[in-house]
Amino acid sequence: MDGMSGMANPIFSPEPSSSSTSTSSSATSSPPHPPLPSTPASVIRMVNIRSHIPITLNLQQSNYSQWSSFFDSVFGKFGLQQHVTGPHDRTNIDAEWYMIDQSIVNWLYTTIFTEIFNMVHKPKATVYSVWGSLVHVVSLSLSLAVVS
């Protein structure tokens, strides 16, 4: 686990988060998307992420929703959801998966402001752990803004 106390990734949660929970959600929710084939690491390494993510995550601008929506699109476009949706046993990861994961970690780090980077970066990070840390930091920031 990444210290996030089992928090689900909000982008890939089966239902959008809200203050109330629907009891008949199974009747209205769409079926889950089938797993997509992942794009090869050789392609992912060459992606100019700024052409896909035109904004930088900034706590002062409260632009997490827009930023994460762009990433949601990129993850779907390149078949990379599995890197974000759950922790992975590092003993079962091949070199291709690792290179893709580290490329995405780089994308995340280069699309956030330095103040956020300083709060979430860690040695040997995975996409899952960095994404969880970003969700945590944004949640804390929103909580503090409500209290202020």
Q: How far is CA 80 from CA 35, 41, 66, 70, in A?
A: 9, 11, 19, 13
pLDDT tens, residue by residue, 5-53: 444 444 444 333 333 333 444 445 555 656 667 799 999 999 999 999 9
pLDDT tens, residue by residue, 56-84: 999 999 999 999 999 999 999 999 999 99
The amino acid present at 36, given as its one-letter code, is L
Give strand pairing partners of 79. Answer: none
Q: Are 105 and 127 in contact (CB under 8 A)?
A: yes
This prediction has a pTM of: 0.74
- What average pLDDT does this structure show over 80-90? 86
Whether the predicted pLDDT of 133 surpasses 80:
yes
The structure tokens listed for 58 are: 């900034």
Q: Are 4 and 136 in contact (CB under 8 A)?
A: yes
144/137 Cα distance (integer angstroms): 11
pLDDT tens, residue by residue, 91-117: 888 999 999 999 999 999 999 999 999
Whether the predicted pLDDT of 130 surpasses 60:
yes
